[in-house]
Amino acid sequence: MKTITFLSLLLLAALSSCDSNPGISLQVHNPMDQPRPDATFLLSRGEISGWTTIPANELPVLKDLNGEFIPCQADDVDGDGSWDELYALCDLEAGALQKILLEFIPAEEYPEFSIRTNLHLGDVRDGYRKLNRADRLEGVSYHNYADITGATFQMEGPAWENDLVGFRNYLDQRNGMDIFGKTTTAMVLDKVGIEGEPSYHEPGEWGLDVLKVGSSLGAGGIGYLYNDSIYRLGDNGSGTYEVLFRGPQRSRFELDYSPWMLEELKLRVNHQIEIAAGRRYYQGMVSYHGSEIPLPLVVGIVNMKSEKLHVIKLNQHYTALYTLDEQSEDGSLLAMALVVPGDYLKETGKTKDSGEGIIQTYFAVLDASPGEAVPYRFYSLWEKEDPRWRSPKEIESYLKTEANRWTQSILFTN
């Protein structure tokens, strides 16, 4: 299974418009026998242009039959200055069949929706100014990061959140991934880690940094398997952070590494990370260039406070690796899950517990080829966000539903 399709849409009929703007009517069907809160609608510009004329200098929106806007955004995915995808979220009941309308409006009239995702990288040296691009710090070890990375970047690197959970990346050669447990739906990370504010390592009104990462790969950190050894991505060379787009319903950024030396191989690796509203995960897409050798991707889960890795097949297409232990920094229960396409999964394993390099990590090895974007999703399920996550049964049921959502696209039928 080498292609992941999030949404497949078929045009129903052209809708005559009372003004000059073309519009179309779509009939939405949820094929699952379960409700889908925040069901994803994803329309490409190419799909829409095949159905109707796209007006210049206008953006697409979605409405229900009452004329109310459905939360949506038009995203410039490739950075060329024009929108490429229309993304929207809408609650659908089990087996729901309903119509929606796609219309176009001037950009300046685009509706404002509740902000449910956020990307933030603050420059400590410039009053915590929000950065859209930054170079990764070099020459940083586990012994001097507080003096260098902490003095340069708020929260030591980029942070991303939605209304349920938050994450961060150490923007230096540690390249670890961390989790912010949230007890509020508000966007809070712009103000976390600022001098004079309470430490994010201590419980606050919004939540706290729940994970200790150390020298592990943390919450979905990555590496590559080569010559029977696992190499941490970004442990040499240079790297950058760049926002690709941000919006109220979803946001995406990339971490780019070039050159990165994997023994004698000189590579460029791109790691795109997306977070969407209403999800308890971020999605990673990882690709490499510079060698024709197949290089298996390694994605990790810190096991510093975990006793067991559970590996379960969620459905025909997806497999989960998860832990559930009192592994939050405040001693509460935290489940972490890595969900991967089953056809990519080569093996699972565990690193050594001490020594140099990557330690204290459960990991999945995923098949990868040059230029191919390999997907994975990393979930954080904290009992203080939802008490369901105290139960392995609830966690596995939830992950199976999530896998079915990933597999079963919203359908549009005659």
In tens, the pLDDT along 231-251 reads: 999 999 999 999 999 999 999
Give the domain range for residue 310: 117-407
**Looking at the structure, do residues 174 and 252 belong to the same domain, yes or no?**
yes
Which has the minimum average pLDDT: 6-15, 164-173, 327-336, 344-353?
Answer: 6-15
* 108 residue type, one letter: E
d(CA 409, CA 368): 25
Q: What is the pLDDT of residues 67-76, one digit of tens each?
A: 999 999 999 9
Q: Report the chain's C-alpha Rg in angstroms.
A: 22
**3 found inside a domain:** no
Q: Which of 112, 139, 161 is the last residue of a domain?
A: 112
Q: Which of 94, 112, 130 is the last residue of a domain?
A: 112
Bridge partners of 222? 299
Q: For the whole model, what pTM was predicted?
A: 0.93
**5 found inside a domain:** no
- Contact by Cβ (8 Å): 174, 197: no
For the chain, the residue count is 414
d(CA 70, CA 83): 18
**1 found inside a domain:** no
How many CB atoms lie under 10 A from the CB of residue 235?
A: 16
**Looking at the structure, do residues 200 and 281 belong to the same domain, yes or no?**
yes
Helix (H/G/I), strand (E/B), else coil: 407? helix
**27 found inside a domain:** yes
Of 153, 144, 162, nearest in space to 194 by CA: 153
Q: What is the pLDDT of residues 299-317, one digit of tens each?
A: 999 999 999 999 999 999 9
DSSP designation for 77? S
**Looking at the structure, do residues 82 and 163 belong to the same domain, yes or no?**
no
Bridge partners of 105? 59
Q: How far is the CA of 309 from the CAs of 51, 135, 301, in angstroms?
A: 48, 35, 9
Bridge partners of 252? 245, 274
**414 found inside a domain:** no
**Looking at the structure, do residues 60 and 197 belong to the same domain, yes or no?**
no
Backbone φ and ψ of 343, nearest 5°: -70, -20
The label of the residue with tokens 């590494």 reads: 257
**Looking at the structure, do residues 192 and 290 belong to the same domain, yes or no?**
yes
**Looking at the structure, do residues 53 and 141 belong to the same domain, yes or no?**
no
Q: What is the pLDDT of residues 169-197, one digit of tens each?
A: 999 999 999 999 999 999 999 999 999 99
**104 found inside a domain:** yes
**Looking at the structure, do residues 90 and 123 belong to the same domain, yes or no?**
no
CA max distance for the chain: 70
**Looking at the structure, do residues 66 and 139 belong to the same domain, yes or no?**
no
**Looking at the structure, do residues 61 and 182 belong to the same domain, yes or no?**
no
Quote the pLDDT of residue 19.
44
Q: Does 144 score more than 90 pLDDT?
A: no
Quote the pLDDT of residue 256.
98
Bridge partners of 88? 41, 72
The encoded tokens of residue 210 equal: 């729940």
**58 found inside a domain:** yes
- State the CATH number of the domain containing residue 133: 2.70.98
- State the CATH number of the domain containing residue 64: 2.60.40.1180
**347 found inside a domain:** yes
Q: Structural domain tally of the chain? A: 2
Torsion of CA 160, 92, 114, 51, to 10 degrees: 90
Quote the pLDDT of residue 412.
56
**Looking at the structure, do residues 315 and 195 belong to the same domain, yes or no?**
yes
**Looking at the structure, do residues 52 and 134 belong to the same domain, yes or no?**
no
Q: What is the pLDDT of residues 16-61, one digit of tens each?
A: 333 445 578 888 888 899 999 999 999 999 988 988 899 999 999 9
- The stretch 354-358 carries a mean pLDDT of 93
Quote the pLDDT of residue 102.
94
Q: Which of 96, 112, 128 is the last residue of a domain?
A: 112
**Looking at the structure, do residues 341 and 243 belong to the same domain, yes or no?**
yes
